[in-house]
Amino acid sequence: MKKLMLTSALAGLVIASGANAQTTITGEMRVTHKAIDSKVSSGTTLTSGRAFGTEQQINFATKGKLNVGGLDYAAGFSIENDGAQSSTLFNENQYIDIINPSSGTTLSFSIDHIQRNDSDRSAGNIFGFAPSEYSGGGHSTLMSATPGPGVGQSQSIAILQDVGSFGKLSYAYAPSLTDKAAETGTLATGQSSSEALTETTEESAYEVGFVGSLGVKGLTVDAFKSKQKKMAEAVKAEGENLGVRYSTGPVTLGVAQKKWNDNAATKLETKEKNYGLAYAVNKDVTVGILHATAEKTGQTAKQKLTAIQLGYNLGPVALTVGVAKNDDLNGVAGQDSDMIMTRLVGAF
């Protein structure tokens, strides 16, 4: 009887929460074409080619009121498939947020959800493709979507605080880093269940951040700093991302600097700078130019990227086209490439 009563109580809880919640389902589909012409001065021949890539994502979200303390909540997850994805489809935008609307404080248990340093956040990348996307052709690039420890792509607990009209502060802590820019440690798997323990030798990492206008219309400032604890390496991985973007009328300017090091026996630091300028021709058409440089300790040359981008709003579908030139890819002199990327995005 006790078990029956407990089951009935849980059923009542689910019905009650569902009655007070607002649930939405949204989605997005991307089709991208990339054409690359690679060149190398000597040695290994780099490949050139053309190919399509696809991505599909479905987002489930709900929000409502808790029955304690006047608190709000939001929860959700996404199902994302990048091409023919062989790993999990459920590591995107997963979250349970507990929100105090009176103080502007949010406690978030999440992955790939809150404001964060990774995912190609760059004030210089105003629209279109990020510097790290303009690579390929059988070579590596010094441009990175994750400058330092990937705290935002690891399961973490975070506190976010609204600071009036200035912006939002955040602190995220991942007890075991499961996504990073450096190497992966040996997994230690605990008991077999739907909530099995997964821990790596990377141990923990944290990230502090700020995103806001500082009370200035048209201004956006990004500032992030992350650091990782790791038992097996002498150097602890660190990363930072600082950016400023300003819009006035149809013109937007952006500049950003990323700096990070891999966890290794010696400190191999990479510095990346992004510069962007965009002009909104009208409500549907935007054109822009993106320039980026990156250099790494021990490399012989500085990688440079220049791209021209066009964005066109077709209503339910958005089109982006980018033409880019890479010089000295991965810090190797004479290792160059030219690229054209086209992307169609449909939302529902």
pLDDT tens for 115-163 read 988 766 788 889 989 898 887 655 678 888 888 888 888 889 999 999 9
The tens digit of pLDDT for each residue in 110-126 reads 999 999 887 667 888 89
Supply the pTM of this predicted model: 0.84
Cβ atoms of residues 38 and 137 within 8 Å: yes
C-alpha angle 225-198-161 in degrees, rounded to nearest 5: 35
Name, in order, each residue with C-beta under 8 angstroms of 16's C-beta and a sequence gap of 6 or more.
Answer: none
Q: Residues of the chain with pLDDT > 90: what percent?
A: 53
Measured CA to CA, the distance from residue 226 to residue 242 in angstroms comes to: 12
The tens digit of pLDDT for each residue in 267-294 reads 789 999 999 999 999 999 999 999 999 9
Measured CA to CA, the distance from residue 330 to residue 44 in angstroms comes to: 14
The tens digit of pLDDT for each residue in 1-33 reads 434 434 444 344 444 444 456 899 999 999 999
Element (H, E) at 312: strand 303-313
Measured in whole angstroms, the distance separating CA 293 from the mean position of its chain's CA atoms is: 20
Closest CA to 95 of 67, 121, 70, 116: 116
Cβ atoms of residues 117 and 146 within 8 Å: yes
Across the chain, what does the average pLDDT equal? Answer: 83
Measured CA to CA, the distance from residue 79 to residue 90 in angstroms comes to: 5
Q: What is the pLDDT of residue 263?
A: 65
Query: Would you state the CATH architecture of domain 33-347?
Result: Beta Barrel (2.40)
249 burial via Cβ count (<10 Å: 0-12, 13-18, 19+): exposed
Name, in order, each residue with C-beta under 8 angstroms of 202's C-beta and a sequence gap of 6 or more.
Answer: 176, 177, 180, 184, 185, 228, 230, 263
Q: What is the pLDDT of residue 319?
A: 97
Would you give the DSSP letter of residue 328? S
